[in-house]
Structure 1
Amino acid sequence: MTDAAAWRGRVGGTWAEEHARTERALAGVGAVLDAAIAVQAPEQGSAVDLGCGAGSTALALAAARPRLKVSGIDLSEPLLTVARARDVDNRVRFVAGDVLDVVPGMAPLDLLVSRHGVMFFADPHAGFSTLRRSAVAGATLIFSCFRARGENDWAAALDATLGIVRPANGGYEPGPFAFADRGFVTDLLTRAGWSAVDMQPHDVDYVVGAGAGADPIAEALAFYRRIGPAASVLAEAETGERAKLEARLGDLFATRIRNGAVTFTAAIWVVTAYAPKEVP
């Protein structure tokens, strides 16, 4: 698992440098999540984007609800620098720090959202309990997360191509697929004080090679050299072996070209839960 120190340093810097590619890859996720948030978001009050990264979810929410006070929190200052540069109208307050340290100071919150940013708590029960205590009665929590790794072609196909064998899931482990199991997430949120937990499955495009005039296979390789399940494997391979692995990836990418872009599928949940309303 990538730890907080890495996000504050090297990993966060890489994601900031690659934000155009990562935002393209996650655009399908964002479109589904933003639509779901728009149904739930109040016209005014206070909202926070947890693990906001380059700011896409927070900025979309602020544009949809101009009277809503929107903040974004992330560990990575380089990613927040990107987010602030994208916020040309200064609609969002972006804060560097650990979500669980910062959120209590923003209470009371009417809406808490996250695009794939809440699967990394060391203690998820404590984490979601802290979020619950920071929410007003009736507040909405809505976030996206990946379903099972095997359902996510963008990761599973690379594992198979590179011969990566992943250990069987032995329980909760922070990471991209930590919330794949519906029963686990429903029980977790309920025990943490959230109610009416709902999880809707979606399959969306995950585009990793595109761009006007660009070679989609070369673009996909450039992406996966730095981001995702192949990056560490390629980085650790010796030169000759790396060339063979990249050739195999190139063959895989060629089978995924659609409308001029290397397009995989991402299988996600959109999770919605509520802070219980006070009893009169």
Structure 2
Amino acid sequence: MSEHRVRFAALFDAEVRPHNERFRAAAAVQPGEDVLDVGCGTGESTREAAQAGATALGVDVSEQAIAKARELGGASFEVADVQTHAFPAAAFDVVLSRFGAMFFADPAAAFANLARALRPGGRLVLLVWQERDRNEWYSVLHDAVAPGTTPPPAGPHFSLGDQSHTDALLRGAGFADVEFTELREPVCYGPDAATACEFALGLKDVQELFAGGDPQSVTRLRDAFAAHETPDGVMLGARTWIVTARLSRA
């Protein structure tokens, strides 16, 4: 996935542009703040924090993604697993994560570690997918690649979609004032059906659905994307949450 993430770095960023604009506004990064961007990928959200005048550090477990982020520059980047990484205590004003926090194998440990890295009163801002059955883009992929089959269990990227679960997780790590803002904006899979198909074939969701090996799957996928072509690209419905919280003061 890392190689695919780097190869399609620009498209991954463009895919969620309307969601990212709202996420950036919710983060409201201020000049002089210290910002930690978790699961930063190739670093767009980290660079945006730096452009707002913050001192920004982006971290990701993918060495390939961090290498690309460093190549693009504009902020500091480090390979790190936030579940275990020894961040300086109370070093950051803001922790951001744009579609990165859903992948923690041990989310309780990860959010507790992030809480230790935040200053008292510091804020956490996440952009996460809502539950899978609320996202049209997954239905389009499933119905094209594996029609008539039962989808496999939802992947980790939907792990924070349930509000009650995520609220309890964050409060258990020491956060307060947890709020959810719903976004309903399309995601863009590319400028045309051919690009969208190439992009989708590298996604884990699609690769899982291809387990049956139906030779017509690629054709159906390309046709499905063609049906969603617009002047702005191949647009599929999506729902996300912007999750905001503050670290409780001692």
Equivalent residue in structure 1 for 2:116, among 120, 129, 133: 133
Deviation of 1:98 after TM superposition, in Å, equals: 0.9
Q: Distance in 2 between matches of 1:251 and 1:13?
A: 26
Measured on the aligned residues, the alpha-carbon RMSD in Å equals 1.9
Q: Distance in 2 between matches of 1:220 and 1:31?
A: 22
Q: Distance in 1 between matches of 2:200 and 2:133?
A: 18
Q: Which residue of 2 aligns with 1:183?
A: 164
Query: Pairwise mapping of residues 157-196 of structure 1 onto structure 2 (< 5 A)?
Result: 157-161=140-144, 162-163=146-147, 164-167=149-152, 175-196=156-177
Contact 1:103 1:131 in 2 (8 A): no
Instruction: Name the aligned partner's letter for residue 207 of structure 2.
Output: A
Deviation of 1:19 after TM superposition, in Å, equals: 1.2
Q: 1:106 to 1:18 in 2, by over 3 A?
A: farther
Q: 1:208 to 1:43 in 2, by over 3 A?
A: same
Q: Which residue of 2 aligns with 1:213?
A: none
Q: Which residue of 2 aligns with 1:8?
A: none
Q: Distance in 2 between matches of 1:168 and 1:155?
A: 12
Q: Specify every segment of 5 or more residues in structure 1 that has no aligned partner in the other structure, as ranges.
A: 1-10, 211-215
| Cα shift readout 1:209-267 (whole Å, capped 9, x = no counterpart) | 20xxxxx1111111111124213444x565xx33x111211221122112151111221
Contact 1:159 1:165 in 2 (8 A): no
Query: Pairwise mapping of residues 218-229 of structure 1 onto structure 2 (< 5 A)?
Result: 218-229=194-205
Q: 1:245 to 1:50 in 2, by over 3 A?
A: same
- Does 1:147 pair with 2:161? no
Q: 1:246 to 1:168 in 2, by over 3 A?
A: closer
Q: Distance in 2 between matches of 1:225 and 1:73?
A: 26
Query: Pairwise mapping of residues 1-280 of structure 1 onto structure 2 (< 5 A)?
Result: 11-38=1-28, 41-64=29-52, 66=53, 68-87=54-73, 90=74, 92-102=75-85, 104-105=87-88, 107-161=90-144, 162-163=146-147, 164-167=149-152, 175-210=156-191, 216-234=192-210, 236=211, 238=213, 241-242=214-215, 244-259=216-231, 261-278=233-250
Contact 2:16 2:187 in 1 (8 A): yes
- Secondary structure in 1 matching 2:58: strand
Q: Distance in 2 between matches of 1:147 and 1:130?
A: 24
Identical columns (%): 26
TM-score (norm 1): 0.82
Q: Specify every segment of 5 or more residues in structure 2 that has no aligned partner in the other structure, as ranges.
A: none
Instruction: Name the aligned partner's letter for residue 59 of structure 1.
Output: R
Deviation of 1:55 after TM superposition, in Å, equals: 0.4
